[in-house]
Amino acid sequence: MATDVKVPALGESITEGTLAQWLKKPGEQVAVDEPIASLETDKVSVEVPSPVAGTLAEQLFAEGDTVEVGAIIARIGKGDGQGAAQPAPAKEDGSVNPAGPAETPMPRGDEHAPVADSNAPADLTLSPAVRRAVLEHHVDPSKISGTGKDGRITKDDVLAAAKAKDGNRAEPAAAAEPPRASAAAAGASGRERREERVKMSRLRQTIASRLKEAQNTAALLTTFNDVDMSAVMDARGRYKDLFEKKHGIRLGFMSFFVKAAALAARDVPSVNARIEGDEIVYADYLDVSVAVSAPKGLVVPVIRSADAMSFAEIEKTIADFGKRAKDGSLGMDEMKGGTFTISNGGVFGSLLSTPIINPPQSAVLGLHRIEERPVVRDGQVVVRPMMYLALSYDHRLIDGREAVTFLVRIKEAIEDPTRLLIDL
């Protein structure tokens, strides 16, 4: 008798998710608690484990389908998988046809997409991201050796195959053609023009909704300053080896800014406050949301009580967040709350930006790339490693004077890190 696999509880107020990827194929054996599928919710990816050991007998939903909490998405049977049912194929409108024959999931909408090798397995499954990459680069997935879990093909595998194909392909000689009607027509005829419709992920929809909510609700304003990073870079250069040897983690710049924000928030508490109805809620702690890049979008896990942490504790927490954001193992509880946000666009090369606050927070500090620029010191023009700082804030709660004061306190602490040690 087959055992049903149900969508687990996904967190408070979350009633549904998107089936992002099947991790097991029908006929494959699974162990107890081994993940068979991953679900995408508003904030994180959640793996669905098998409740029993056995063989995946049936998939009741296709990748990309919306599934509710408690819904049966698969069935686990006993035995070695011989004669197991195949996954339910998607119909033209994207719905599932349980009675139809199994088909190899391939990108749709491109008549020039490569045809799978006849010797390739008939149940080759690709994640949505990999399917898009296959469609874009015109490669045959059946000829790619997967480096992912259980030999699955990853997006990097597709890109490597496309690069190898382009390197081995000789440029064909141009055939003689009649004169073109116009230069524009000549340019347009050089390649095929295509469009691809991809449904927004649940995470991307949530990000879009929250950012628009911030613009519609808050009175957003951004103020800027710049900071000389010489002192922090010098301190980091002198102590990074000893720091890593003692704490087992590299000393980065983010811990300096988190500590500086905690110091500045004591002088300007409104930056660490929020509006609830007709009341202002002030927090005597600093829970810092740090923007981390994940494969499916930006996530903002929270460093709890960052004001009470050491430099090493902050760096270890941030490193852990970054690692787990990439593999999708961050929990929803880790991204709830937060009283203030720090977003470091400098890691992507950003020179200047106007970040948007993360409701119900009232302020976000934007960091940018460090760039050597000429500045005047003691009447002399010198070159210094400079960084632009941006503070976006809700003007309903924070006045311009307070915003500027907060940034000045950040600037003072970074340019003279001793202030962080003596709480000045």
Domain boundaries, the chain: 1-103, 109-165, 219-422
Q: Which of 79-93, 231-245, 398-412 has the lowest mean pLDDT?
A: 79-93
Residue 363 in contact with residue 396, Cβ under 8 Å? no
Q: 191 or 101, which is more confident?
A: 191
CA-CA distance, 396 to 343, in Å (whole number)?
22
> What is the average pLDDT value for the chain, to the nearest integer?
81
- What pLDDT, on a 0 to 100 scale, did the predictor assign at position 96? 43
pLDDT surpasses 90 at 133 = no
The pTM of this model reads 0.62
CA-CA distance, 282 to 196, in Å (whole number)?
47
Q: Which of 87-91, 321-325, 361-365 has the lowest mean pLDDT?
A: 87-91
Stretch 17-21: mean pLDDT, rounded?
Answer: 84
Location of structure tokens 């905690």: 262
- What pLDDT, on a 0 to 100 scale, did the predictor assign at position 68? 87
Q: 66 or 367, which is more confident?
A: 367
The per-residue pLDDT for range 358-404, each reduced to its tens digit, is 889 999 999 999 999 999 999 999 999 999 999 999 999 999 999 99
The one catalytic residue in 156, 234, 267, 395 is 395
Q: Token pair of 56, please?
A: 């995946």
Count Cβ atoms below 10 Å from residue 263 Cβ, excluding itself. 19
- How far, in whole angstroms, is CA 44 from its chain's centroid? 9
Stretch 29-34: mean pLDDT, rounded?
Answer: 90
Torsion sign, CA atoms 137, 131, 15, 342: negative
Identify whether 247 is a catalytic site residue: no
The one catalytic residue in 117, 166, 234, 399 is 399
Q: 223 or 149, which is more confident?
A: 223
- What pLDDT, on a 0 to 100 scale, did the predictor assign at position 214? 87
Level-2 CATH architecture, domain 1-103: Beta Barrel (2.40)
- What pLDDT, on a 0 to 100 scale, did the predictor assign at position 203? 72
Identify whether 368 is a catalytic site residue: no
- What pLDDT, on a 0 to 100 scale, did the predictor assign at position 74? 92
CATH number of 219-422, picked from 3.40.50.300, 3.40.50.1110, 3.30.559.10, 3.40.50.2300: 3.30.559.10
Q: 8 or 257, which is more confident?
A: 257
Residue 272 in contact with residue 258, Cβ under 8 Å? no
- What pLDDT, on a 0 to 100 scale, did the predictor assign at position 384? 97
Residue 69 in contact with residue 14, Cβ under 8 Å? yes
Closest residue by Cα to residue 274 from 332, 335, 214 = 214
